[in-house]
């Protein structure tokens, strides 16, 4: 136990050092990390209100009194400062290290927060660097998951699948979409999820033509497709899966659309392995759907990365330039949506390996009529 604790501590230390080493060798540049997920990634400390101030040599986690004790007990790769006056502390660190350029996360900091920061540090002469360099530096680290991160996502997926398997007993004519969403969330939490990955999508009948339809009072009817796009949150990490089921019976058109989506999904999955460009995965799925005559009804991208955020790098779209490498976690989720009729989406979340992928999802994908 002690040895694995030391190893985890060392890995956390390396994670922070790796980012710090990318800052200017002059030592005059610092990174200000304020987004919840990036702070969680770097320190493994969950908090909703904190700031990492990282220099080439040392990292500080600034928290207010509410998080002080918890942070001091668990953060091992940054010195915890429980501040009273936030900007005084920032200015003090800027002066202490002679920082001239402060990198911020341009993708998550609001314009208001940035302007306030600029005005508060003006007297030090330090400038806020308004570009996406810091976003990219962290994203490059986060895009490849560690064994421990992958284990958490496996667990999130396992909870999701166990909950859905139990819920399927409830999917009958007369049950409301909102009841399915509520029950599913309850089951996930009962099984150890800390929450849901996103507002669960449990939609039926005509509403399945809306890729992100919101569950409401609509009741399941015989002949419906029911789409579950669902995921659990486990120790900060997300899972993401979609399954579409038929209720009672299926028409020829429903079967044709389902089989086309399944073929697109399976063929795109076959492409997944280290060294492949993300856009090739998208193109593979899209070509199959286009060739079947449904191209105009598949208008979202084929997938996305998943981790501490539900949607993160790499993006599996026609414009996805990322070359996949081992440890990246992506979804493969083509769909066909016929307005006013029905839709089908099938989604798995997989970890890329050197010769293929590990599929987190294990639930069957052939058409099931409940």
Note whether 282 binds ligand GLY by CB under 6 A.
no
Q: In this chain, which of 55, 77, 260, 331 binds Mn ion, going by CB under 5 A?
A: 331
CA separation for the pair 346, 332 (Å, rounded): 8
Cβ closer to ligand GLY: 43 or 227?
227
How far does CA 152 lie from the centroid of its chain?
13
Cβ closer to Mn ion: 105 or 240?
240
Q: In this chain, which of 92, 132, 198, 290 binds ligand GLY, going by CB under 6 A?
A: 198
Instruction: Yes or no: say if 63 and 50 are a contact pair by the CB < 8 Å rule.
Output: yes
Note whether 347 binds ligand GLY by CB under 6 A.
yes
Cβ closer to ligand GLY: 44 or 229?
229
Q: Is 45 helix (H, G, I), strand (E, B) or coil?
A: coil
Instruction: Yes or no: say if 197 and 180 are a contact pair by the CB < 8 Å rule.
Output: no
CA separation for the pair 99, 29 (Å, rounded): 5
Instruction: Yes or no: say if 184 and 163 are a contact pair by the CB < 8 Å rule.
Output: yes
* Pairing status of strand 127-129 against strand 101-103: parallel
Note whether 312 binds Mn ion by CB under 5 A.
no
Q: What is the gyration radius of the CA atoms in the chain, in angstroms?
A: 23
Q: Which does 282 bind (CB under 5 to 8 A by kind): ligand GLY, Mn ion, none?
A: none
Token digits for 110? 């609001």
Note whether 333 binds ligand GLY by CB under 6 A.
yes
Q: Which does 13 bind (CB under 5 to 8 A by kind): Mn ion, ligand GLY, none?
A: none
* Pairing status of strand 79-82 against strand 237-238: unpaired
In whole angstroms, the minimum distance from the beta carbon of 236 to ligand GLY comes to 17
Note whether 312 binds ligand GLY by CB under 6 A.
no
Note whether 240 binds ligand GLY by CB under 6 A.
yes
Cβ closer to ligand GLY: 45 or 342?
342
Residues near ligand GLY, by CB under 6 A: 198, 229, 240, 333, 347
């Amino acid at each position: 136990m002690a040895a694995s604790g030391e190893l985890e501590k060392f890995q956390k230390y390396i994670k922070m050092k790796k980012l710090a080493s990318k800052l200017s060798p002059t030592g005059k540049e610092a990174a200000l990390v304020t987004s919840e997920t990036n702070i969680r990634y770097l320190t493994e400390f969950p908090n909703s209100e904190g700031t990492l101030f990282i220099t080439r040599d040392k990292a500080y986690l600034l928290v207010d009194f509410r998080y002080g004790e918890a942070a001091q007990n668990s953060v091992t790769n940054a010195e915890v400062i429980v501040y009273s006056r936030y900007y005084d502390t920032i200015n003090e660190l800027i002066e202490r290290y002679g920082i001239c350029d402060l990198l911020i996360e341009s993708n998550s900091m609001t314009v208001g927060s940035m302007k306030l920061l600029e005005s508060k540090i003006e007297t030090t002469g330090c400038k806020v660097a308004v570009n996406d360099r810091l976003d990219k530096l962290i994203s490059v680290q986060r895009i490849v998951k560690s064994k421990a991160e992958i284990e958490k996502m496996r667990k999130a997926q396992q909870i999701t699948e166990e909950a859905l398997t139990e819920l399927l007993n409830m999917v009958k004519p007369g049950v409301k979409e909102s009841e399915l969403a509520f029950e599913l969330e309850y089951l996930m939490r009962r099984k150890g999820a800390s929450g849901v990955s996103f507002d669960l999508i449990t939609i039926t009948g005509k509403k399945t033509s809306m890729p992100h339809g919101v569950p409401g009072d609509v009741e399941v009817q015989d002949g419906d497709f029911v789409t579950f796009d669902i995921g659990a949150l486990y120790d900060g990490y997300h899972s993401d899966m979609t399954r579409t089921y038929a209720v009672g019976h299926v028409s020829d058109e429903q079967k044709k659309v389902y089989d086309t989506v399944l073929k697109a999904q399976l063929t795109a999955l076959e492409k997944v392995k280290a060294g492949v460009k993300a856009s090739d995965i998208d193109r593979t799925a899209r070509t199959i759907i286009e060739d079947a005559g449904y191209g105009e009804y598949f208008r979202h991208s084929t997938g996305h990365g998943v981790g501490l955020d539900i949607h993160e790098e790499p993006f599996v779209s026609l414009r996805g330039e990322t070359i996949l490498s081992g440890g990246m976690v992506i979804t493969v989720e083509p769909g066909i949506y016929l307005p006013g009729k029905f839709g089908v989406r099938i989604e798995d979340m997989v970890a890329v390996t050197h010769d293929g992928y590990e599929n987190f999802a294990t639930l069957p994908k052939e058409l099931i009529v409940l």
